[in-house]
Amino acid sequence: MSEITMAKALNTALRDALRDDPRTILFGEDIGALGGVFRITDGLAAEFGDERCFDTPLAESAILGTAVGMAMYGYRPVVEMQFDAFAYPAFEQLVSHVAKLRNRTRGAIGLPLTIRIPYGGGIGGVEHHSDSSEIYYMATPGLTVVTPATAADAYSLLRRSIASPDPVVFLEPKRLYWRKEALGLPVDTGPLGSAVIRRHGTHATLIAYGPAVTTALEAAEAAAEHGWDLEVIDLRTLMPLDDATVCASVRRTGRAVVVHEAHGFAGPGAEIAARITERCFYHLEAPVRRVTGFDVPYPPPLLERHYLPGVDRILDAVASLEWEAVPA
């Protein structure tokens, strides 16, 4: 076992998928000889040839449209959208065709394609390079939406996404690309659609995903100084959402805070808070809180530390959970 970055885990997952299944094809802007702007596909074109790992023009709609056709003919395309908001020109393809084809053909035709999207902030980028656009995909029936927070999940969930018979939007948190963890590959961390508890606690549940998981864990450690024992859930898959794991935790703790980088209004936290309220109302000791990005376009680099949810904002939300009502 050695220390591996999330970027290396993703690269290894793609290499193993190419090796194991000749139907797997990678393409996108600069992913060939360059290996991608974040080097996630580094060395794959040299190893597998430019028929299985190749560059495309700067035309995201064409990239995804090509993937639709290839998937219909039996390939398993894995496409890269270079930055989060670069994917917007392809959104029409995604909503009108990728998400609907199985339903439209009464189950006869699925689209086994994976759309990799580096997303989120914390790297000094600006808007269009640091967006958290997951709610658009979560709100589109027919898509599975996945985001890892660890190198192990990056490898395992990407392999499972590529193996899925239906389309998967695979969101890669950019600021976690270079975090290291001791890991031996290959690894299997469980199926799509399953959340995990990263830290057990009794006083409240922090619900996070992708880049916010690290911040939530830091907040949970800091909360211990206040006497709060916080549980941290990593959702891992946003659609379908693992209601069972979330609700079981909230029913134990009686309190919940949802943490994510995306904007708050009509964001992922709004849906999660509503589902918790519907399913756990009689177990709640306080309203569900949200700690999110603000309802503005992603700010310039010097301001992003104010925009992104931090430990202090999470602790402020935890402090507002009516602690005087904690049962003995």
Active site residues: 129
Helix (H, G, I), strand (E, B) or coil at 152: helix
Contact 201, 216 (CB under 8 A): no
Beta carbons within 8 Å of 3's beta carbon, 6+ residues apart = 180, 181, 182, 183
Contact 204, 256 (CB under 8 A): yes
C-alpha span between 3 and 19 (Å, rounded): 23
Contact 253, 245 (CB under 8 A): no
Residue 263 CA: distances (Å) to CA of 131, 133, 140, 269: 9, 9, 18, 9
CA angle 285, 262, 258 (to 5 degrees): 15
C-alpha span between 1 and 310 (Å, rounded): 32
Contact 172, 118 (CB under 8 A): yes
DSSP letters spanning 60-103: HHHHHHHHHHHHHTT-EEEEE-SSGGGGGGGHHHIIIIITTHHH
